Amino acid sequence: KPGEDWLCEEQAPGIWFCLGVKRWLVRRRTPYQDLDLAETESHGRVLALDGRFMLSERDEFFYHEMLVHPALLSHSSPEKILIVGGGDGGALREALRHPVQKVVLVEIDREVVEVAKEWLPSVHRGAFEDPRVEVVVSPGEEFLPQHRGEFDVILVDSTDPVGPGAALFEPGFFRNCREALKEGGILALQSGSPFLRPEEIQTVVGFLRSLFPTVVPYLGFMPLYPSGMWSYVLASLDRLPEEDALWERYRARGLHTRYLTPEVFRAACVLPPFVKELLSPCPNA
């Protein structure tokens, strides 16, 4: 049972995932959510918000590489990037590995950024101090309408669609993302577990297919997250490049990754039949 020696998430009714805790580092209520950070027996430091796991030191690279690199490799010249959420700095770290000129990170909860800076250096690796980075403390849904046609790539590194993250899954938010992109811009976001929470990817893909000519769902392994099968979506105002072009950019940018390669991304876009069936009723399928 959840208790003082365990950090637990109820991932679905009747399904709990618990990690043994060596020591609690941070336990507080921010203005927006409950924030827990623990040193665990098996996964290093683990961050949870409102009782949901956000990352662990052991496996965060699975998620951050899959969220960031498909979008940035698909863009020929990703100069200005927006990250909505991502206050832990993991997505920021990966975005800075590309030839970007500026990355704006918009995080609703200042305390998430402060805790990450102090306690999660292995995740952000100094990314917050990079001169190309601007951190804005603001709700993403309020920031976007003020920045039309400004970004080459938008990465939505959100929590699940509950609490402060719920607004990042609304149709108006996705419309504002589209308007904030430059010509040829790309949007990438996570869309939950298609096995335990199929309504998330159905909703996201349905909204995006009504707004973008190119919408590509893809899957990745994420051990900490519900069911281990996690989904993401790329949405582009243009066609996405072929694998050869992605490899050319991967090598030219000097990338060395632990999970995502252009070959893995190509495979991740091949959806199993049950996911295809989930998405078949979506608009513009």
Stretch 258-271: mean pLDDT, rounded? 98
Nearest CA to 222 among 113, 63, 42, 80?
A: 63
For residue 207, which phi and psi values (nearest 5 degrees)?
A: -60, -45
Nearest CA to 60 among 74, 47, 51?
A: 47
Q: Active site includes 157? A: yes
Percent of the chain with pLDDT over 70: 95
Percent of the chain with pLDDT over 90: 91
- 36, 109, 152, 157: the catalytic one is 157
Q: Give the domain 6-56 fold.
A: Spermidine Synthase; Chain: A, domain 2 (2.30.140)
- Whole-number pLDDT of residue 143: 96
Stretch 225-232: mean pLDDT, rounded? 97
Alpha carbon of 6 to those of 23, 37, 133: distances in Å? 10, 12, 35
CA–CA gap between residue 180 and residue 132 (Å, rounded): 19
Kindly state the DSSP code that residue 254 receives in the 8-state scheme.
T
Edge-to-edge strand ranges of the sheet holding 102-107: 133-137, 102-107, 80-85, 151-157, 181-190, 229-236, 214-221
Q: Confidence class of residue 160 from pLDDT cuts 50, 70 and 90?
A: confident
- Whole-number pLDDT of residue 19: 96
Q: Does domain 60-279 have CATH number 3.90.1170.50?
A: no
- Whole-number pLDDT of residue 176: 95
135 pLDDT more than 90: yes
Domain edges within the chain = 6-56, 60-279
Q: What is the Cα 139 distance to its own chain's centre?
A: 16
